[in-house]
Amino acid sequence: MAKRVFNFNPGPATLPFEVVEEASRGALEFNNLGMSIMEISHRSKDFEKVIQEAAADMKELLGLDEHFKVAFVGGGASLQFAMVPMNYLREDAFADYIDTGEWATKAIKEAKLFGKVNVVGSSADKKFSYIPDLKGITFNPGAAYVHVTSNNTIEGTEFHEFPKTGGVPLIVDMSSDFMARELDHKQFALIYAGAQKNVGPAGVTIVIVRDDLLARGKDKIPTMLNYKTHIEKESLYNTPPAFAVYVVGLVMKWMKKAGGLKAIEKVNREKAKILYDAIDGMSAFYKGTVEPGSRSLMNVTFRLPSEPLEEAFVKEAKAQNLVGLKGHRSVGGCRASIYNALPVDGVKALVELMKDFAKRNG
């Protein structure tokens, strides 16, 4: 096999190699059925086991009980921007949103199609380079829900704590830090996450809904866009993205073997510390783009002294098998996405290059 690179892409992103290997076997033959996982019926016992185990393992890892239901749906996290308000925001009602980046802004745009939106907190004034102080935010007790984006993939910021919204359901777009750290996941009434950042391939989005919110949903909406459909039918109302669900299931097994969220978080913190320490230690050359108190564990954004140097750095990195380091076009600079499956050695190799590059070009 060709040498495997360290993949710092923001999404689709690196997967555990064990998972890729196992998936490649499943892509040839599954459970001695004489067929691959891509060819079996989604109504078969074999596939039912795959999808049920994926959901059960996920709930176990997240520490969720019977009040929470998992659904695997298509359409990407972007469809969730619309599904959330379509299900829970009535025309005469309003929802509270915190605007912390491009993805949050897109979620707000969709919600406005269905009802009134209060942007109760925003970091747009400083190019989304920080997470607003929750103490300074007044939430409306009458809101249909509060929506936050836990990790801002493009900008490189992350919520380190979440608002206490009392009786108002808290909804989170967790696409880019889903299952990256230990959290009290029970505080969220709805979690959604595109799989392709941290837990699988593109094509499937994980949606986890708490009973109380599920019961509040609107009824006169299209069947396929109603959360109740996917929850009640256990993601088998129609043909789910079966191969993607299968790979998510393999990632869940890998996470359990790795020791669960506690162990995963420990490694994630180690990787982030190595990288942020390097940036701070060479601050004459590298500049972190976000406030240190708001830094993401997953997407580390930084700039070099000039755009030509940034281009040269990304190119050199690629030549050393460190790929995907170019920042998002709206932010520029560099971004290292260091999701769960990115090994510590990848971060160490990146830091070695950063040191060497700064010495030669500083």
Ligand X SMILES: *Cc1c(COP(=O)(O)O)cnc(C)c1O
Among residues 14 and 30, whose Cβ is nearest to ligand X?
A: 14
- 103: annotated active-site residue: yes
The active-site residue, picked from 173, 228, 254, 326, is 173
Residue 245 CB, nearest approach to ligand X (Å): 15
Of 115, 104, 101, the C-alpha closest to 78 is 104
Residues that bind ligand X (CB under 6 A): 11, 76-78, 103, 149, 153, 173, 175-176, 194, 197
Residue 124 CB, nearest approach to ligand X (Å): 16
Of 55, 64, 296, 70, the C-alpha closest to 185 is 64
Among residues 155 and 310, whose Cβ is nearest to ligand X?
A: 155
The active-site residue, picked from 59, 96, 99, 103, is 103
Among residues 175 and 226, whose Cβ is nearest to ligand X?
A: 175
Among residues 225 and 309, whose Cβ is nearest to ligand X?
A: 225
- Amino acid identity of residue 35, one-letter, is M
Question: What beta strand segments (E) does the chain contain?
Answer: 6-7, 68-73, 94-99, 116-122, 146-149, 151-152, 157-158, 170-173, 190-194, 205-210, 287-288, 299-303, 322-323, 334-337
- 254: annotated active-site residue: no
Residue 279 CB, nearest approach to ligand X (Å): 21
What are the beta bridge partners of residue 171?
147, 190
Among residues 251 and 278, whose Cβ is nearest to ligand X?
A: 251
Residue 178 CB, nearest approach to ligand X (Å): 9
CA dihedral in degrees (252, 253, 258, 259; nearest 10)? 80
- 197: annotated active-site residue: yes
The structure tokens listed for 79 are 């469809």
Q: Taking a C-beta distance cutoff of 8 angstroms, is the pair 165, 213 a contact? A: no
Residue 212 CB, nearest approach to ligand X (Å): 24
The active-site residue, picked from 197, 228, 271, 326, is 197
Residue with nearest beta carbon to ligand X: 76
Q: How far apart are CA 248 and CA 198, in angstroms?
A: 10
Q: How far apart are CA 96 and CA 111, in angstroms?
A: 10
Cβ burial, residue 312 (10 Å; 0-12/13-18/19+): middle
Annotated active-site positions, please? 103, 173, 197
